[in-house]
Structure 1
Amino acid sequence: MKKVLYLILLLTNISIAQNKQYNLDPNGKNSNFHYLIKTYPNNAMEFRVKKDSGTVYQITAPLYETIKSNYDTISKILPQNKKLKVKDSTIFFIQYFYKNDRTFFNEKNQIEVNNSYFSNFIKEQKSIVERKYKNSKVIYMFENGIDISNYKKIDNFFVDENNYFRTNYFKKSILCGSFLIIKPNGQSLIRNGEYRLDQMAEHLNSKIWELFFESNSINNSEEEHKTE
């Protein structure tokens, strides 16, 4: 009996260790998750999976980033994956999902069948944005390694197979994903963390957009970011 109890306790401790969560402030100090969210409203929550299968959450990512995109490259890459019709004046709205984000995916990085967020909510968001901005395309982009086979028939679901967007735009894993607007002139705005696509679209208001780009100090390549 003692051996059985010992085995149960051992397996329980292993399970707890494998799912350990570390919550760190920008300086690497342990803290409370909800305290970090409230204390650093201008930061987003970055995460990474440790070798012990625990997850480190650290509120170090910028809330906003600006970047200069190569629009010609983007407009050629996206239609390669699916039959996506784009024009030279198309504005791209991209919502990016990161591997190992348990907000959306299970431990196998799969989208569960009948997930209401993917089945209903983001479809409604796409409809709202594309109806309001006639020259726009909404794209849901998934980091390579995420299994979207349960939703493969949805036309605007893309896997970042060659890691182009992960390498050039979304360099850190952000809890709840990231949002990106790419305009035909190359000006691009990233918003990290929990948000909604229709809220992101409001940044196209000229008064809001100019707050990010009026200085004309935006980077000249996709290799560098400017954080806000």
Structure 2
Amino acid sequence: MKYFFFLTISILIVSCSSQQDLGTRVLHQKPKIYLDEYGNKLKENEFQERWRNKENNLTRWDYGTSDSGRVAKLVGPIYSRHFATYSDLKEKLQILTGRNFPDDATFLLDYTYKDDLCSESFPNNWNKAQIKRRKSFTSEWKTSIEKEYDNVIVFHFFEEGIPLKNDIASPDEYYFQDLKNFLKSNMFLTPSLCGSIALIKPGGQILVRNGEYPTEFMAQHLRPENWKLFFPQE
């Protein structure tokens, strides 16, 4: 029994180590395979053209394989709309963060996916030093956004499975794990290179933007002339 237990633990360690080595190896590697949104192979120039054409409403997700190295795949959409019962969603966010929120709060949520090759901390190891370094950038625009837009609260969530060395007891903490992947299952449905961002308004409207995008630009979607482009009947 002890031998079996040791063997099981050894297999798990080797498996995790292999995955980390693969991620490290392909992190700064140029993609060797390009795929369209249906899984068909493309030439690099064809991929770039489809990806950068905004009318296609596509972003990308890069991943590593042991035999092919880095793979770039088109995914979509860039923007998606969702609707939820606001009170239920607010209650869930209160559970995830340990905070209480007013009934008129608007949430801006940054989201980091597991195994995202965009992340400087791949393979999924957000230790205290890395969080501190990242917050040196994100805290500035968090403060700016919450000052400019009334009742907006900014958080950054990480997919479950990413070890997060944060201080959830601190009242200033805004990095949290998406426990049981609630947010990923309900709004962040498209893993995208460099993450996704969501806006949640008290009416239950949710706007998600997939792929790399400045968070402060996403906040500008709250302006009435921009918001009505996505929710014209509000």
Task: State whether TM-score is above 0.5.
Answer: yes
Alignment counterpart, residue 207 of structure 1, candidates 197, 201, 225: 225
SS at match of 2:42: coil
CA distance in 1, matches of 2:145, 2:122: 31
CA distance in 1, matches of 2:209, 2:123: 26
Q: Does 1:109 align with 2:120?
A: no
Superposed CA deviations along residues 13-46 of structure 1, whole A, max 9, x for unmatched, are: xx8xx74842223352233288247643332113
SS at match of 1:84: coil
Residue aligning to 2:155: 139
Native 8 Å contact 2:51 2:59 kept in 1: no
CA distance in 1, matches of 2:184, 2:51: 28
Q: Pick the structure with more helix per residue.
A: 2
How big is the alpha-carbon RMSD for the aligned residues of Structure 1 and Structure 2?
2.9
Alignment counterpart, residue 71 of structure 1, candidates 86, 89, 96: 86
TM-score normalised over the length of structure 1: 0.77
Amino acid at match of 2:87: D
- Residue correspondence of structure 1 range 158-173 to structure 2 within 5 A: 158-173=176-191
> What are structure 2's unaligned runs of at least 5 residues?
1-21
SS at match of 1:62: coil
Residue aligning to 1:24: 35
CA distance in 2, matches of 1:151, 1:43: 36
Native 8 Å contact 1:66 1:188 kept in 2: yes
Alignment counterpart, residue 201 of structure 2, candidates 183, 200, 210: 183
Superposed CA deviations along residues 78-112 of structure 1, whole A, max 9, x for unmatched, are: 12133323111000000010010122154431125
Native 8 Å contact 2:75 2:192 kept in 1: no
SS at match of 2:180: coil
Residue aligning to 2:103: 88
TM-score normalised over the length of structure 2: 0.75
**CA gap 1:127/1:61 in 2 versus in 1, 3 angstroms:** same
The worse-fitting range, judged by mean Cα deviation, of 140-149 and 107-116 is 107-116
Residue 199 of structure 1: how far off its partner (Å): 0.4
Amino acid at match of 1:95: D
Residue 215 of structure 1: how far off its partner (Å): 5.7
Superposed CA deviations along residues 21-72 of structure 1, whole A, max 9, x for unmatched, are: 4222335223328824764333211344546584432122111100102211
| Greater relative CO (CA pairs within 8 A, separation 6+) | 1
Residue 77 of structure 1: how far off its partner (Å): 1.1
The worse-fitting range, judged by mean Cα deviation, of 167-176 and 49-58 is 49-58
Residue aligning to 1:35: 48
Native 8 Å contact 1:97 1:176 kept in 2: yes
Alignment counterpart, residue 118 of structure 1, candidates 134, 137, 151: 134
Native 8 Å contact 1:125 1:198 kept in 2: yes
**CA gap 1:119/1:39 in 2 versus in 1, 3 angstroms:** closer
Residue 196 of structure 1: how far off its partner (Å): 1.3
- Identical pairs, percent: 29
